[in-house]
Chain A
Amino acid sequence: MITAGIVGLGWWGQNLVNNSAAAENVEFVAGAVRNTDRVKDYAAEKGLSLHSSLDEMLDEADIDAVVLATPHTLHVEQMLAAIAAGKHVLSEKPFTMHKADAEKVFAAADAAGVTVAVAHNRRFVPSMAELRKRIADGSFGPLLHVEMTECGPAVLVMPKDSWRFNRAEWPAGGMTPMGIHLIDNMVDLFGPVAHVTTQSVKRAAEVDVDDTTSVLLQFETGMTGYLGVMVAARADFCASIYGRDATARMIGRTYENLVFSPREGEEETLTYDFGRDSDALTAELDAFGAAVEGQAPYPIPRDQIVHAVAVLEAVIRSAETGKKEKLG
């Protein structure tokens, strides 16, 4: 069991703390937020010491690790500060906004001898494990194409002054909050991406971010993919994987339904009772704790963490140039 301090106790930070209750390897004992008054009651209930900045928490709290649930653009300097203080780090996604920053963070982690990982919770859902298995055992035959679409109502329901709603944090609409998960899922299942082409538009948002973003991509294997994210729509998720011998669909916000359709033979539907925003957080915190304690490597290899950031960076670049962008 390691002890951790969380930075950021908004909606998602609290979600992480809440789901640590079931974790065996990580216990939150501290929290850092700008306005401590806002979360005083919550911290008291969860037994967290409260600090008004990351630096203060690093000075004052007795913790092994820092977990970041903060705005995207702050991750790099916060990770470097935690590493400099000898702490292990689990950062929310996107790990960083630039590949070069991701590499800088890992170099610092190596020099300090600490573990650094990213919180791609959707790696941990059972339908992803099932897909990984069926791709590996050849059930799909040669892979043709993948489609993943995620929708959420963020720009319709969140306060207009949220840190999210500016083009530094969300440079291509839903790509940084949601699309990065889909990128991670794709990189996990299908390997490195060779190039991407993005179109990103603002149709309905009353804040200055795009709300409708779509991307075509090709993997190094030659397989192709599509990724769509909308942030002014009802929360929803669907994915389809097309192989010569079978197709599969993942349906439902929490990836709970997996429909596997062989080209010849019976369709098979698997349903999982496993919360993407709950059970998966417990699993990722446990995996992080196990990695820190040297029991098992964190299940997202470092090269994939860096590559997912590189894909995100290329998607954003393509949204700006309107052209096909190769991975940097």
Chain B
Amino acid sequence: MINAAIVGLGWWGKVLVGSVQGKSDNIRFSHGATRTRAKAQDYADEQGFALVDSYEELLAIDDLDAVVLATPHSRHRAQIEAAAAAGKHVFVEKPITLTKADAEAAIAACHDAGVTCAVGFNRRFAPAIAEGKKLVDDGTLKTLMHVEGTMCAPNGMFLSADAWRADKNETPIGGLTPMGVHLIDSYINLFGEIDEVYCQSFRRAVPNDTDDTSSILFMFKNGMSGYMGNMLATAPSFRLQAYGLGGSFEIRKPDLSSFEFVPNGDGPITGAAGENKTVTKDFSGYDTVNAELEAFAAACTGGAAYPVPDADVIHGIAVVEAIIKSAAGGKPEKVG
């Protein structure tokens, strides 16, 4: 059992705590720190962990093994480096940083200190993604042609003007950093590295200065193409559909619970897909947040390495950087 501290007790910080507290034999939250302590005291009491006043104070606690960072993107690098220096393992929410150089520095600090650095790509743990990856890796999909993904949420409509997520420095491309990075990580996980991106991103409806409607084209190093859409001012939805010569699979619903694979038939052009061998699966109820924290605890205690490789994390941030550059310049950009 490792002792972890939650840093940042906004909406997502509480989801992280709730996914393991009192349920896990491997990780428990013993401490927490947040910007406005008074706002979190009742919650901390109820969940049975101690609140401290500052991050520095947390890192000085001897019997604390790890920190879990649910804090604004731009603060991650410094917080990771400080944790590594204090010998604490780090679980950090995505995106780890907003530049590739910062991601490399943060990860190197953890390596040098011999602590684990895990990024909270909980969708890596979604069984539907694993199902799709099997079809890619075992050749069922055959030649890969294209992937389309869309993630939507209404959250942009409800941000107060002083919320950190309403600051364009934190969320430069609307839904990219809160949502899109998950899809990018899935793309990298499924199809490998991305070579080039083109992005357009605008504000259409949210009552603050951030974008709410972003769309991106991708070219992968393997030659396939891709698309991603992120909307922050509309009803929640999720879709990822991958197209190969052997068929296509589609993952739907905000919890990624719906999986469907339709092999290509050779029916006539006017319609039928030939013999119907559609595979559908329902993964409702699987808790990916619990799974990612369990995997983190295992990695911290000498078990299996955390399943999101550092190289994928760093490449994902390089993709984010290229997307931000493309939106600013209005032209395609190579991933650095």
In the complex, the chain B residue whose C-beta lies closest to that of A11 is B269
Interface CB pairs A-B, < 8 A, 21: A11-B269, A141-B205, A143-B204, A144-B231, A144-B233, A144-B234, A147-B229, A201-B225, A222-B204, A223-B204, A224-B202, A226-B215, A228-B227, A234-B248, A234-B265, A240-B150, A240-B237, A246-B235, A247-B152, A247-B235, A324-B331
* Contact between B269 and A197, CB atoms less than 8 A apart: no
Question: What are the residues of chain A within 8 A of B154 when measuring CB–CB?
Answer: 263
Most buried by A among B216, B262, B271: B271
Residue contact B215 to A244, C-beta cutoff 8 Å? no
Give complex CA distance A262, B215 in Å.
22
B243 contact from A216, A230, A324, Cβ within 8 A:
A230
- Determine how close the nearest CB of chain B comes to the CB of A186; give it in whole angstroms: 14
Interface: B140 (CB within 8 A) = no
CB of B143 within 8 A of CB of A144, answer no
Binds B, one of A52-60, A127-135, A151-159: A151-159
Cβ B200 vs Cβ A323 within 8 A: no
Chain A residues 148 to 189 lying within 8 A of chain B, measured CB to CB, are: 149, 151-154, 156-158
**Residues of chain B lying within 8 A (CB to CB) of residue A235:** 267, 269-271, 273
Q: Give Cα distance in the complex from A97 to B241, angstroms.
A: 31
B residues with a Cβ closer than 8 A to A are: 142-146, 148, 150, 152, 154, 157, 198, 200, 202, 204-205, 212-213, 215-217, 219, 223-227, 229, 231, 233-235, 237, 239, 241, 243, 245, 247-248, 262, 264-271, 273, 330-332
- Given A235-B269, A247-B237, 15 more A-B residue pairs with CB atoms under 8 Å apart are A145-B204, A147-B227, A201-B223, A203-B143, A204-B145, A212-B146, A214-B225, A223-B213, A226-B229, A228-B227, A233-B264, A234-B248, A240-B150, A240-B239, A242-B213
Question: In the complex where A199-B225, A263-B154 touch, is A233 in contact with B266 (Cβ < 8 A)?
Answer: no
Residue numbers in B under 8 Å from A230 (CB-CB): 145-146, 243
B171 shortest CB reach to chain A, Å: 16
Q: Which of A143, A234, A240, A246 has most B Cβ within 10 Å?
A: A234
B residues in contact with A218, CB < 8 Å: 200, 202
Alpha-carbon gap, A246 to B154, bound state (A)? 10
Asked whether, in the complex, the Cβ of A203 is within 8 Å of the Cβ of B224, the reply is yes
A144 touches B212 (CB 8 A): yes
Contact status A224-B146, CB under 8 Å: no
Instruction: Say whether A3 faces chain B, with CB atoms less than 8 Å apart.
Output: no
Known A144-B205, A263-B234: A154·B269 in contact at CB below 8 Å? yes
- Contact A214:B217 (CB < 8 A) given known A144-B212, A247-B235: yes
Q: Which residues of B contact A151 (CB under 8 A)?
A: 243, 248
Q: With A230-B146, A233-B264, A244-B157 in contact, do A142 and B205 touch (Cβ < 8 Å)?
A: yes
**A residues less than 8 Å from B226 (CB atoms):** 214
Question: Can you name the residue of chain B whose Cβ is closest to the Cβ of A149?
Answer: B148
* A144-B213, A144-B231, A214-B225 given; A197·B271 CB < 8 A: no
Whether a CB of chain B sits under 8 angstroms from the CB of A139 is: no
Inside 8 A of B157's CB, which chain A residues have their CB?
244
Q: For the complex, is A277 an interface residue (Cβ under 8 Å from B)?
A: yes
Pairwise interchain contact B269-A152, C-beta atoms closer than 8 A: yes
- The interface residues of chain A lying within 8 Å CB-to-CB of B269 are 11, 152-154, 157-158, 235
Q: Which of B152, B227, B273 contacts A226 (CB 8 A)?
A: B227
Q: Is residue A83 within 8 Å, beta carbon to beta carbon, of the partner chain?
A: no
- A217-255 interface with B by 8 A CB criterion: 218, 222-226, 228, 230, 232-236, 240, 242-244, 246-247, 253
